Structure 1
Amino acid sequence: MPRYRSLEDIFDEEDEFGLLDVKPRASGAAPPDALNAEIVAEVNTFYETQGRLPNGNSHDLEEMKLGTIWQSICNSPTDAMISADRNKLLGYGHAILPSQGGEALSDEPSEVARDWREDPLEDEIPQSLEDIFDEDDEELPEAAVALRHVTPAAEREQPAHRADMFPCRDFDLFEQGFLDMQERLDSGERTVSPIEDRQELRINEGDYFIHRGLLAYVAEKTELSRRGGKPDHRLRLVFSNGMENDPLMSSLRKALAADKTARYVHRPGIGPLDPDWQADALELTGTIYVARSKSDRPEVKEVRNILHKIGVTSQNVKRRVADARNDPTFLLADVEIVATYDLKNLSRMKIEDLLHRFFDSARPANLTITDRFGKKVHPREWFYILPEHVREAVQLIQSGTLHLYQYDPSSQRITRK
């Protein structure tokens, strides 16, 4: 490598890579005055679309850049800037330029919309409550004073069903059971355990609980339905103070978990197969009811007169169907009770199972309902039958001869085997 002694020696060498070939900058760039006029035009466009000036402190990057440049040039307007200021945002009342021989520009700025982010002016700050209440509300936009998408209180529908406490009409059937259970608890014959917060508590007919300081008895567990994709039942819950209510099984679980004093009373025996396990369950009689759906779903509406639900309940029938519109077992619609039959000295659960098996051939094969969680439910208590068919079947049960007959769906008649 040659050793250079001076800069002249370096510059005298051939510039093999063109490092010293410096090209002058092109002179086609716009002058600052034209650039400022373009900024003024952009600000006017922003003002026409947004109704305000761009804010230099905005979170939007483009608005922040435009607002910052505007603040730096708006106090030194030029003829080109004023020509581009079609909304007179630079604060001049006239658009005629002095260079054109016209009228001199006014030094009084026109009124310009202020940004809501800016601090209020001194005279805009109220000094007392009287100043606030004396404000005229007529200039407020309707959206600021009018309520939208809110149902008036008078028009709000009350829920069709609430699991409130009400007097138990047949408390005499349960009273002795409460007295006997209290004696067993006092003597230590029956034990209790606390209910954990996240415990998946299994609830069956005949179960006893201690809830809110009272003994509670699960007298009835109705047809299986699904809430949120999970199996659920409506319960009949009788309390030792002579009251009852009918919560959902899921609601009872939540209430027991929230009650720190709640206890589950252990049943006798070692499990459901043990005869002693059913010692607390009562053979309650009840009412057979036949319900017709009021659903507007096309697949239900067109067969409404021949599609009926057969149910058996130990509680008041009207109370049982009060929450039909929220119950998938009732096709998520209100129902009309078209017939009821009282049971006498007959097991409610056995009669319901017997009727459902007797009319099994008339059960719709593809009857499904989608609950509000998008889950498909297949109600199994609905049949293509008429109320008189149920009446005839009940008469055969009372006479003890139902086993000699069968239901023929083709002829829609009950025939002898």
Structure 2
Amino acid sequence: MTNSEDFGPVDFSYPAVDIQLLIDSDLDGLLDAPEKPKKVTSSDRLERAFLEIVDFRRTHGRVPSSLTREIAERKLGARLDGILASEEKIAALKQLDEFGLLDAPEAPASIDDLLEGDDFDLLGDDSGLLDVSDLPVRRQVHEGTDAARRHKAEDFEQFEHLFKQKHAELRAGTSKLLPYPGMTRILPGAFFVLNGVMLFIAEVGETEYKKSTVRENKRERLRCIFENGTESSMYRQSLAIRLSDENGQILEQTEMPEILTDDEVSGYIYVLRSRSDDPQIASIEHLHKIGFSRGPVETRVKNAEKSPTYLMAPVDVVANYRAYNLKASALENLLHRVFAEVRLDITQIDRKGRGYDPSEWFVAPLNVIDQAIDLIISGDIVGYVYDPQAQKLIRHG
């Protein structure tokens, strides 16, 4: 190691420095003292938290859900729920709310709308927490309100024979009344008894979507025909509540009666052809929709161009088969199974921009569909399969 004594005394003195001159020459600000960090307030944190929710809405086109399994989205959804529960937070964030996330929901216009505002899916409880079957029943009277909602069924003659048939089945023991089993059984073609009056589910309308600040609810209007000649267009959930509260019953067949030539028609299997000018649809040969209707088929399809179920285009009824004393919906389902391999695979966009996959369109010649129906009625269909290449039903096994 070199010793400083070998070189004599070391001079540590430096020439005087003009500090101001040094500062003035610091064009890049290297000598600037760092700014003291601004203290983050609770208001700042609230705004940042809300802007994350706004950014999610801007990116995904919807509000975050607090019920999803996606952890990041669920946190944002829970955060939004907390904000909406505080008037102070809503007032503090209003200037940042570019999508109306903090707007108060519209007041329901009717009791049906109120019942449909089930943001937390309380009516769909599967846990049993809402089961009050062990509690004393308090009978509710709805006749006044319900009567006001009903009106005369102008085409009741199309349905009157169905009620007569059901009463005959009850007398013969081929049908029986069972306790209302739940909303999943409220389907087209079902019969129920409400306050001693039999009703028939003639139609279930297109799914409506009603947005709230929490979630997007789905609901469907029903066409309920009553045996006293009136009809109602209540929502599915509304009927479910009525049947549950008022000890409603469902009619179930105990056995499948034989088909007799002099029996009355119980439904229609129909085959439609699309008049769509969409090239990807118009170019498909032998494209047919196979469906089921309790009432007149022409009434069912009169607004086909507005529904993705009918490919957003008018349709022609090319075949209409009567079904006697049998569950025509089961016949329809069996036809769908026979032609499942040639089901149309396409996505339609409805008037609100939502995607929809029509499920009842098949690529099969009309004469083959005729043959399949004959084989189903005779019971011989179990020995046949549809060959898409040959476009015919062939025996298997």
TM-score range, shorter chain: 0.3 to 0.5
Which fold has the larger relative contact order, with Cα–Cα distance below 8 Å and residues 6 or more apart in sequence? 2
Q: TM-score, normalised by structure 1?
A: 0.44
- Structure 1 or 2, whichever has the larger Rg, is 1
